[in-house]
Amino acid sequence: MRILLTAESYLPYVSGVTVAVDALARGLGARGHEVLVMAPRPASGRSVEPVGSPGSEPRHAWLASYQLPRFAPPSYRMPWPVPWHRGIREALVFSPDIVHAHHPFVTGLMARRIAIASGAPLVFTHHTRFADYGHYLGPLAGPGRRMTDAFLRRWWMSCAAIIAPSNDLADEIRGRLPPGHGSRVQVIPTGIDVSGICALAPVNPRARAGWPVDTIVAASLGRLAAEKSPMTVLDAVAAAVPRVPELRLLMIGGGPEEDALRRRALQADLAGRVHFTGALPRPDALAHLAGADLFVFASRTETQGLVLAEALAAGLPAIAFDGPGVRDSVRDGTDGVIVATDPPEQRTARLAHAIATVAIDRHTRMEMAERARTDAGRFAVEQRVAQTETLYRSSNR
């Protein structure tokens, strides 16, 4: 099949979405399909840097793009919303059998236009809970959420199939569709390169940070932004330290909250107990993750939380707040701990208790780590690509 993938953001900006699109494109290519990725042109204008996904780099139809002026990281570029992109013409000439959109807005509308012109089914993966990013709109957050909700309902109805990465999100979308249309929603979690992560040479954070050899390292991985709740992770570790004095925190990633997190670490008397790596290339970030002892996840804005699967593949017990996608990733008491979020005022204390409990019991931690490596096999990208291919074929009948 000729398969067009469209994305509003793309590599070299690294996120769960951009990694997922790259992995899917490479995986489909490995299965003999002809794949074209239509996405914003990188600032360099050249091919993107690899993020560790297996398979050959796909073809790209680049869209003219611009850098957001304020809160976005330097590598995050957006496509200009104009109908005469050269990339659109390339996609039309490509004449896809399947059009698979990974964002519903600018590139999503382009994808719909191309699907109609090509007579191809439009498939959509709902990666992002857009309402959870309303804080970036300030006083317009309320109206923006209502407009987005109305737009998404119309958008979903234009799709032949909708992929949700988790059961929670699938149920939510089905509940917002008109009666009789829920069957178009299918659950296919985003896959990861399990074997590649297992083969990584771990980076020793104790040596990098100057910590004692008996340090127990809790790690977080992700953009240091408010919607990912990194401050909650830091506060929970600070609350766990009195029970586990050898506990340290490795914060992998960069972002707008880094300065505030550094200040909070000083206020919480965590000087020397928290190490910030800054933004790292994806393979390096995963190698740092593999050197830790346990993984802490506090974000409640995820549709799946791809990094949870990556942490399990790296052999880290995952301690995560209960939330969308978490129950599909973490097996409570087996390869990690799912922490209740109610009542809200006890969230940080509950997370701290779970961190301390896992950190202090080496035997349980080692057992969870072994089960995590085994359980991560269910996220293998090859399996998820095969499921997506099956969905394409059923949509194209």
Q: What is the mean pLDDT of residues 266-283?
A: 93
Using 50, 70 and 90 to split pLDDT, how confident is the model at 141? low
Helical axes 362-375 vs 306-313, angle rounded to 10°: 110
DSSP-derived secondary structure letter, 54: S
Sorted by where each starts, the structural domains of the chain and their CATH numbers stand as 2-191+381-395 (3.40.50.2000), 195-379 (3.40.50.2000)
pLDDT of residue 47: 59
pLDDT of residue 119: 97
Helix (H) or strand (E) holding 142: helix 141-157
Q: How many helices (H) and strands (E) in the chain?
A: 15, 15
Q: What is the mean pLDDT of residues 106-130?
A: 94
The model scores a pTM over 0.75:
yes
Distances (CA, A) of 294 to 45, 337, 392, 393: 39, 11, 37, 40
Which stretch, 12-16, 198-202, 300-304, has highest mean pLDDT?
198-202
